[in-house]
Structure 1
Amino acid sequence: MSSSTQPLTVIAKLLDLSERRVQQLSREGVIPKATRGQYELIGSVRGYVRYLRDQAVKAQAGAPDYAVERARFIRARADLAEMEAQEKRGSVIAAGDVEDAWIAVLTLLKTRLLALPDQLAPLAFAQPNVGDTRNLIRRSMREVLDDLAEPDIDFETKDEPAGIADPEADGRDSSGRPETTAGDDDQRLGGSEPAAEL
């Protein structure tokens, strides 16, 4: 029975460890504790082999699996190619293009709404009563909103941001009539000639 237990020096040489490491593993419960300075030979070898196996499993669990990572890479490339094909077919729109289009729509809305007071002031002054003035303002606002309901958005150009055809860019309103601009007529609140309706 004496051959089944060995001193610390023999166990350390057998496991290729320092004596201190063997004692540490014994305290951690990896190797059975020594009895009177003697370590159980088979228990020590089994405990240390089990410990090494567990360490290998833990290390492998944290390491990336090549086959899984390659499949993920291939799937990502295929998804990217599919998105590019859909964009070329016109079934999807790039998020940047949508953002540019919304910015253009909102900029045009802001420009058109800020221009309304200059356009409407002379016309409102010429209206005979409040009801006609209200109808004039509503009609003008509806024209602006109707123009914006069907904007001409250009997604074809990749180098330039998406834009909207602005009917006011050439100095005309959406109906093709010249815009009313603020001028001397605005100063004549009590003048002899009221501004004519366009």
Structure 2
Amino acid sequence: MSNDFASVPTKFMAECFGVSDRRVQQLANEGVIPYTKRGRVMRFDVAAAVRAYVEYLKELESEGDGAEDAVSMAKLKAERDLKRHKAREAELHVAELERTMHRADDVEAVMSDLVASTRSMLVALPGRVAKDAAEASGPAAAAQVVRAAVDDVLAQLAGYRYDPEAFASMVRERQGWRDDDADEEPADR
């Protein structure tokens, strides 16, 4: 190779690369392409600069592919996760409609009603047994009266049964469905 291309100015390299003079200076300052300085002027060995620039472009391309692959993989993972979450949500909704699962807030509401009923029965207990216990012939008879009243309250509580319709009613209310929605026929047009 002729020595004419061993030391060319920035403008020549810019024309070779198809970029601006400023971009060639940036590439040189970043260490992408080798250069020498004569005073304040950058000079380039064309063969070395072209090889370095080609390598730089290859690295950018391979990094770009990796970045695109990473972005694609992240996007696919996000889409997969979204689909899983939507499927899980649909499963839970179906389980609720099939009455095989209940929302925590519905269970809490039913249990709160049960606790309130229990409380009211227990609060009413002294008033129910006071007269009979006072008229009892002795402490043992008074205890028997109280025990019978407590057994009555416990029997009422033991009689509590799960009412699936109570939960279904809560679901209908939350969803804004009317009780007669399922029975309606579509109107003819």
Band the TM-score falls in, shorter-chain normalisation = 0.5 to 0.7
The 1:58/1:10 distance shift into structure 2, 3 A limit, reads farther
Q: Structure 2: how far apart are the matches of 1:14 and 1:48?
A: 14
Structure 1: stretches of 5+ with no match in the other structure: 162-198
Q: Which residue of 2 aligns with 1:109?
A: 118
Structure 1 counterpart SS, 2:114: helix
1:8 correspondence with 2:13: no
Cα offset for 1:93? 2.7
Q: Structure 2: how far apart are the matches of 1:17 and 1:136?
A: 104
| TM-score relative to the length of structure 1 | 0.56
Q: Which residue of 1 aligns with 2:35?
A: 34
Select 1:119's aligned residue among 85, 108, 128: 128
The 1:153/1:41 distance shift into structure 2, 3 A limit, reads same
Structure 2: stretches of 5+ with no match in the other structure: 172-189
Cα offset for 1:43? 0.8
The answer to which structure has the higher helix fraction is 2
Deviating above 6 A after TM superposition, structure 1's stretches of 4 or more consecutive aligned residues are none
The 1:24/1:148 distance shift into structure 2, 3 A limit, reads farther
Cα offset for 1:122? 2.4
Q: Structure 2: how far apart are the matches of 1:4 and 1:18?
A: 20
Show the 5 A alignment for 1:24-173.
24-29=26-31, 31-36=32-37, 37-39=42-44, 40-58=49-67, 60-62=69-71, 68-157=77-166, 158-160=168-170
Q: Structure 2: how far apart are the matches of 1:77 and 1:107?
A: 37
For residues 77-108 of structure 1, the C-alpha deviation after alignment (integer angstroms, 9 at most, x for no partner) is 54444444434443323334322221211221
Backbone CA RMSD of aligned residues? 3.8
Q: Structure 2: how far apart are the matches of 1:125 and 1:147?
A: 25
| TM-score relative to the length of structure 2 | 0.58
Structure 1 contact 124–133 (Cα < 8 Å) conserved: yes
The 1:47/1:101 distance shift into structure 2, 3 A limit, reads same
For residues 40-94 of structure 1, the C-alpha deviation after alignment (integer angstroms, 9 at most, x for no partner) is 2211231244135424533552456665555545544544444444344433233
